[in-house]
Amino acid sequence: MEAITQESDSIVRPTQSFKSAASSRVKRPSLALWGAQLKFWQVVLKRTIDILGALFGLILLLPVGLIVALFIKLNSRGPLLYKQIRVGKGERRFAMLKFRSMYADADVLLKEILEADPELREEYARFHKLQNDPRITSVGRVIRKYSIDELPQLWNVFKGEMSLVGPRPYMPSELYKMRGRGARTILSVRPGLTGLWQTGGRNKLLFYERLELDVEYVEKWSLLLDVRLLWRTIPVILRGEGAS
């Protein structure tokens, strides 16, 4: 197995104008929200489904993973996988896995791009992504469009660091923007492979809009909601909607 590298989670802090504009578009979550109030049997049931679902997915999608790995190696130099530190339940850090979709020097390239182009710097501050990111390889664009790069996260689900369905997994450097906007609620459950953010716009959403959807998911959680979101995720991925 190849060594797994880690990419930086550094972000550019948004200007006040962007922060204010985004804040005005969404409803601030109540500060009284302290987390998910799930019953013991609900927690056990959700975790059982996560384990079985992740195990089934890892076995079923193994051939796809091997093919993707071959194309990644043929397309550009560098490791097969990368890990990025994310914040899980109870603010515990974990290494989230993905197939590598960027060039090996992506972090250096990003710094140069943002320093040279104010418009791209504002875009990155607003969405935490670049719509036409030059760091992404040709194979990377395909696997990102259809979320194939996220298949290794099934291992994170199996280990108990993530869930099949849940809030978006946030980076440690994003925590300061979450305070007062339902952070305790969002971080009271495991982050998910998919969720309301995945089926409700993905990368087209502003950061604060993602927070609102994540709070809504935790507040309204039910087994039926998870099933519906998993079902709705399939056509979103197949059409490559909102991905970058």
Look at residue 42 in the predicted model and tell me its pLDDT: 86
DSSP string of 7-41, one letter each residue: -----PPPPHHHHHHHHHHSPPPPTT-------HH
Is the Cβ–Cβ distance between 84 and 94 less than 8 Å?
Answer: no
Residue 6: its pLDDT value, please?
44
Q: What's residue 88's pLDDT?
A: 97
Tens digits of residue pLDDT in 114-138: 888 888 888 877 776 777 788 899 9
Which of these, 132, 71, 138, lies nearest to 103 by C-alpha position? Answer: 138
Residue 21 has pLDDT above 90, yes or no: no
- The whole-number pLDDT of residue 4 equals 46
Q: Which residues contact 160 (CB under 8 A, 6 or more apart)?
A: 47, 50, 190
Check if the beta carbon of residue 212 is closer than 8 Å to that of residue 220.
Answer: no
With tokens 């797994």, the residue in question is: 4
pLDDT band at residue 243 using 50, 70 and 90 as cut-offs: low
Return d(Cα 61, Cα 65) in angstroms, integer. Answer: 6
Q: Is the dihedral of CA 121, 127, 128, 131 positive or negative?
A: negative
Return the pLDDT at 109: 80
Distances in Å between the alpha carbon of 157 and those of 20, 62, 103, 170?
35, 16, 26, 15
Q: What one-letter code names the amino acid at 120?
A: L
The Cα 146–Cα 232 span in angstroms is: 14
Confidence category of residue 40, pLDDT binned at 50, 70, 90: confident
pLDDT in tens, 168-212: 999 999 999 898 888 999 999 999 999 998 887 666 788 888 899
What are the distances in angstroms from CA 24 to CA 7, 18, 193, 208, 214?
A: 32, 10, 28, 10, 18
Angle at CA of residue 146, ends 98 and 62, nearest 5°: 55
Q: State residue 37's pLDDT score.
A: 67
The better pLDDT of the pair 14, 195 is held by 195
Segment (H or E) for 6: strand 5-6
The candidate with the shortest Cα–Cα distance to 190, out of 47, 74, 10, is 47
Pairing of strands 163-165, 93-99: unpaired
Residue-level pLDDT at 1: 42
pLDDT per residue over 54-85, tens digit each?
999 999 999 999 999 999 999 999 999 989 99
Of the candidate ranges 17-26, 63-72, 146-155, 201-210, the one whose mean pLDDT is the lowest: 17-26
Interatomic CA distance for residues 220 and 229, integer angstroms:
12
